[in-house]
């Protein structure tokens, strides 16, 4: 199963290349935010992340609701965290 998981932008690493560091459940990775180039992402914003790409910008309430629900999914949640952990853009 493929899930999107909420992450919080902690650093804009390279604005020209659309790269940001995002924290997902304590794991920080550099991901592509190119799909959200028109969203004006800022440090502190929440995004829905799937294997190294920010798919959409979400608010904090939606992020928390989503995290609560995916954590109830057990193994699928663990698998998504593992996929995120191995998806850093170099």
Exposure string of 3-17, with b = 16+ CB inside 10 Å and e = fewer, is bbbbbbbeeebeeee
Instruction: Indicate the average pLDDT of the chain.
Output: 86
pLDDT band at 1 (very low <50, low <70, confident <90, very high): very low
Top pLDDT among 23 and 67 is at 23
Spell out the domains of the chain, with CATH numbers in brackets: 5-85 (2.30.30.140)
Checking if the pLDDT of 78 tops 60, the result is: yes
pLDDT band at 24 (very low <50, low <70, confident <90, very high): confident
Q: Name the nearest CA neighbour of 63 among 27, 24, 18, 26.
A: 24
Rounded mean pLDDT of 9-35?
A: 94
Checking if the pLDDT of 62 tops 80, the result is: yes
Which residue reads 């995120």 in tokens? 84
pLDDT of residue 36: 95
CA distance 78 to 38: 31
Q: Name the nearest CA neighbour of 7 among 22, 20, 26, 29.
A: 22
Checking if the pLDDT of 23 tops 80, the result is: yes
Cβ atoms of 27 and 11 within 8 Å: the answer is no
Rounded mean pLDDT of 1-24?
A: 90
């Amino acid at each position: 199963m493929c899930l999107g998981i909420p992450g919080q932008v902690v650093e804009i690493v390279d604005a020209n290349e659309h790269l940001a560091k995002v924290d997902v459940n304590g794991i920080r990775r550099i991901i592509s935010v190119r799909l959200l180039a028109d969203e004006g992402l800022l440090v502190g914003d929440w995004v829905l992340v799937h294997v190294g790409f920010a798919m959409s910008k979400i608010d904090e309430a939606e992020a928390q609701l989503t995290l609560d629900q995916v954590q109830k999914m057990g193994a699928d949640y663990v698998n998504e965290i593992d996929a995120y952990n191995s998806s850093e853009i170099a």
